[in-house]
């Protein structure tokens, strides 16, 4: 029996726990997710290193999963645009059962390996693409079908699973095992298995974006200010990076369509918006290199 499906003997009387103890148990069990991701840190770093040249060459990130794993992949793909201005067309997600499965469970869809392969092939994967394959069990047919189609197309395949020696980890070019063990509610991999996948995806995509110069120091300088909150965040980030007051930061941001990177270079080097853009382009988007030029 898979670890994720094995009943947790430590909590065999979970339904009898007083509410306070029940809540403490559910929270405490989540710490296993953090430890599982920590144990896989070298594999996650290897995945970032392998993905970087492909993405830097114009490749796409493609997430594939079913159920909770698939929804977590969708979430990571969607959040890259507002956080890092990552183009929508370069962060694609496949969820077994299609878009409707984001909101209503389509349980049988995960058993269709042929559909997984067909859905992946429909994205026309190439050698510069990076395919992230997520399955708590590590053996979901839909995900394995997509993995094999991605591998046949020459894409980089990165497999995430919550059980040791799982097929999705064995068959992927880079396998990442998040060994979270038995769930406190037996088999409910939306709990710590899902938490570990969320942490791992956050870590992978954030580290990749740092390497792609979407971050200056530890400041998120390539965000899309699509609402009032993010406009204020853009102003604050520009102030933090340059020491400018709010009025000066906002004035320059308004001239460059609230592109924080451009504002930082223009303010710091006391140059025009046009020249700041040229410096950033020459530095391939690196604020640090543009400032050193």
Q: Where are the domains of the chain?
A: 3-211, 215-292
CATH architecture of 215-292: Orthogonal Bundle (1.10)
Beta-sheet pairing, 156-161 with 130-135: parallel
Q: What is residue 66's DSSP assignment?
A: S
Q: Could you tell me which of 76, 166, 66 has the C-alpha nearest to residue 109?
A: 66
pLDDT given for residue 96 in this prediction = 95
* 3-211: CATH number: 3.40.50.10490
Contact 190, 200 (CB under 8 A): no
Contact 205, 130 (CB under 8 A): no
Instruction: Pick the catalytic residue from 5, 21, 79, 107.
Output: 79
Known catalytic membership, residue 5: no
pLDDT given for residue 42 in this prediction = 98
Instruction: Pick the catalytic residue from 110, 183, 246, 281.
Output: 110
pLDDT given for residue 195 in this prediction = 98
User: What residues have CB less than 8 Å from 32, skipping those under 6 apart?
Assistant: 180, 181, 192, 196
Known catalytic membership, residue 110: yes
pLDDT given for residue 100 in this prediction = 85
Quick one: how far is CA 71 from the chain centroid?
Answer: 12
pLDDT given for residue 68 in this prediction = 94
The residues of the chain scoring below 70 in pLDDT are none
């Amino acid at each position: 029996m898979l670890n994720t499906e094995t009943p947790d003997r430590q909590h065999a009387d979970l339904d009898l726990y007083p509410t306070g103890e029940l809540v403490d148990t559910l929270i405490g069990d989540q710490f296993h997710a953090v430890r599982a991701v920590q144990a896989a840190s070298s594999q996650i770093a290897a995945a970032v290193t392998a993905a970087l040249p492909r993405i830097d060459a114009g490749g796409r990130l493609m997430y594939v999963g079913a159920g909770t794993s698939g929804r977590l992949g969708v979430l990571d793909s969607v959040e890259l645009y507002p956080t890092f201005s990552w183009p929508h067309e370069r962060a694609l997600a496949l969820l077994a059962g299609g878009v409707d499965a984001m909101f209503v469970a389509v349980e049988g869809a995960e058993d269709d390996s042929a559909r997984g392969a067909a859905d992946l092939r429909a994205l026309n994967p190439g050698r510069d693409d990076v395919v992230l394959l997520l399955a708590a069990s590590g053996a979901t047919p839909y995900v394995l079908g997509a993995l094999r189609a991605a591998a046949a197309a020459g894409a980089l395949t990165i497999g995430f699973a919550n059980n040791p020696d799982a097929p999705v980890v064995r068959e992927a070019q880079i396998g990442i095992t998040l060994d979270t063990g038995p769930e406190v509610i037996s088999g409910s991999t939306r709990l710590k298995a899902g938490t570990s996948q969320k942490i791992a995806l956050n870590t992978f995509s954030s580290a990749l974006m740092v390497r792609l110069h979407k971050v200056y120091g530890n400041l998120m300088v390539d965000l899309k200010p699509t609402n009032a909150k993010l406009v204020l965040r853009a102003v604050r980030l520009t102030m933090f990076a340059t020491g400018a007051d709010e009025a000066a930061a906002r004035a320059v941001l308004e001239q460059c369509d609230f592109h924080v990177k451009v504002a930082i270079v223009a303010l710091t080097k006391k140059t025009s918006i046009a020249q700041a853009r040229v410096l950033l382009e020459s530095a391939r988007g690196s604020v640090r290199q543009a400032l050193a030029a």
